A and B are shown apart, each in its own frame.
Chain A
């Protein structure tokens, strides 16, 4: 598995953003995305208030101008923040970095990268895989993308790579595809090469609660009551 950043798949490169000073990489977090989205929403409201503040006349115009000012302030405050999960190369530490345009980046709790568990799991059917670390989940449509991310984090930051695909719900150490390892040499036949393709990992589709047969049975009263109504309507029953 290639661990060169430039050789990573495009999806993974989009997710792993290099720091401006080259000191590490950063990933988006759920909290950061929510704050950004709510900021964008407030800015969208601000744009409408702005238009109304310009177009309208009379006493309403004051209301919309004040609203535009307040929502612009709140929207910019929210939109300009970023919460990103940073892997620092120099110290080999992981932390959530909060930064904004008006102040220097602040670090949250830091921990050593080689104690961070990165867990590879299946999300559903369709061979989709997800990578979870520090309460963040990243979903990949292509299994190879998830594998590439795991390999990159394992090689660059020596994280604890685990997989839950081959023997759910037990966690096993994850091994990159073509990394020469002791276990791969000792038991070459049994070592799972691609965790997404081992037979154990082929979890079936989720059987829905309301299967087609159950829905058909649920619809059984419809023809029965229709028939009753039709019989009465055409005078076969009751009013004959």
Chain B
């Protein structure tokens, strides 16, 4: 994922366009397989309905699901948004309530580094999970530079 700066006041942290397009292309194929399976579900030798449901959902999310973090310095907002044609979550945080960013290791095997936003009320909000430490540092530094907030690197 990449921080795309639209203007000095607006930026979006989102997937690379190319990986998005490739994943969507793959997702469309899986979705098509799922929809065809639904259409011919009554024919003999078809898959059970729960398997069809899982395959179709996989294709659906691969095609449509998206997660992005929007930084708006004019409105002083950070918005975390996920959607898959229908909204999944939309969390807005006031930038004035944010103390800064932390980079922590979350102890997970997959995507072990996490960029966390620390709020004044003690709330910590995960913004991104990243696999490689240098990339995590680079992205976290970009967040800090764009918003002008401090960054601490607390990785092990």
B contact set with A: CB distance below 8 Å: 34, 37-39, 41-42, 46, 49-50, 52-54, 56-57, 60-61, 65, 67, 80, 82, 84, 86, 88-89, 99-100, 102, 104-107, 114, 116, 118, 122-129, 150, 152, 154-156
B126 to A168, Cβ gap below 8 A?
Answer: no
Chain B residues lying within 8 Å of A220, measured Cβ to Cβ, are: 86
Complex contact A232–B38 (CB within 8 A): yes
What are 13 A-B contacts with C-beta separation under 8 Å?
Answer: A137-B156, A168-B99, A168-B100, A168-B118, A169-B99, A207-B123, A207-B125, A209-B80, A209-B127, A214-B89, A225-B52, A225-B57, A239-B42
Residues of B within 8 A of A10 (CB): none
Closest to A226 in B: B53
User: B124 and A225: CB pair below 8 A?
Assistant: no
Which residues of A sit under 8 angstroms from B106, Cβ to Cβ? 124, 206
Asked if B53 and A229 sit within 8 Å, CB to CB, the answer is yes
Q: Are A213 and B89 within 8 A (Cβ)?
A: yes
Query: What interface size band does chain A fall in?
Result: 35 or more
Complex Cα–Cα for A162 and B56 (A): 54
Residue A180 is within 8 A (CB to CB) of chain B in the complex? no
The answer on a CB contact under 8 Å between A218 and B156 is no
| Whole-angstrom CA separation of A57 from B118 in the bound complex | 64
Partner of B34, one of A203, A204, A205, A225: A225
Considering the chains assembled together, what is the distance between the CA atoms of A230 and B51 in angstroms? 11
A182-240 residues at the B interface, CB under 8 angstroms: 200, 202-209, 211, 213-214, 217-230, 232-235, 238-239
Does A147 sit within 8 A of B, measured CB to CB? no
Contact A169 B156, beta carbon cutoff 8 Å: no
B122 touches A202 (CB 8 A): yes
Q: Does A92 contact B (CB under 8 A)?
A: no
> In the assembled complex, how far is the CB of residue A231 from the closest CB belonging to chain B, in whole angstroms?
8
A164 within 8 Å of B by Cβ? yes
Which residues of B have CB within 8 Å of A214?
A: 82, 88-89
Structural contact, A232 and B56, CB atoms closer than 8 A: no
* Distance, CA A13 to CA B116, complexed state (A): 33
Q: List residues of chain A with CB within 8 A of the CB of B42.
A: 232-235, 238-239
Q: Is A26 an interface residue (CB 8 A)?
A: no
Q: Which residues on A sit within 8 Å (CB–CB) of B67?
A: 209
